[in-house]
Amino acid sequence: MSISLEKVDYAVKYAKLAKRWLSPSELAEEYGFSKSTQSKMRMASNSSTIPFSKLGSKYIRYDRIAIDKWLEEHQIQG
């Protein structure tokens, strides 16, 4: 049985997209928000506060569904 490299690449990309909770590094890679920008958006006290969860005192995680919804709500019509 042979599996093409193209199918493997597709499976890896799909598996990443299927993951619901993202670390700050994963959010930076997939959505383009640097870690410093994420930090600023977490501390914002207005509507630009990015949705996140904090596990314990150390671990930040982002819910992909909440991020997608937040991006749609903050889309600027041109």
| Pairwise pLDDT comparison (17 vs 64), residue with the higher score | 64
Residue 34: inside a domain, yes or no?
A: yes
**Is the pLDDT reported for residue 17 higher than 80?**
no
**Is the pLDDT reported for residue 62 higher than 70?**
yes
Residue 39: inside a domain, yes or no?
A: yes
Q: Give me the DSSP letters along 36-78.
A: HHHHHHHH--STTPPP-EEETTTEEEEEHHHHHHHHHHTPPP-
User: Rounded to whole angstroms, how far apart are CA atoms 31 and 26?
Assistant: 8
Domain harbouring 59, CATH code: 1.10.10
Residues 6+ apart with CB under 8 A from 60: 23, 24, 38, 42, 52, 53, 54
Over residues 29-35, the mean pLDDT reads 96
**Is the pLDDT reported for residue 1 higher than 80?**
no
State the total domains in the chain. Answer: 1
What is the pLDDT at residue 4?
77
Residue 10: inside a domain, yes or no?
A: no
Residue 78: inside a domain, yes or no?
A: no
Residue 61: inside a domain, yes or no?
A: yes
**Is the pLDDT reported for residue 27 higher than 90?**
yes
Residue 56: inside a domain, yes or no?
A: yes
Query: Domain residues for 37?
Result: 16-73
What is the pLDDT at residue 14?
65
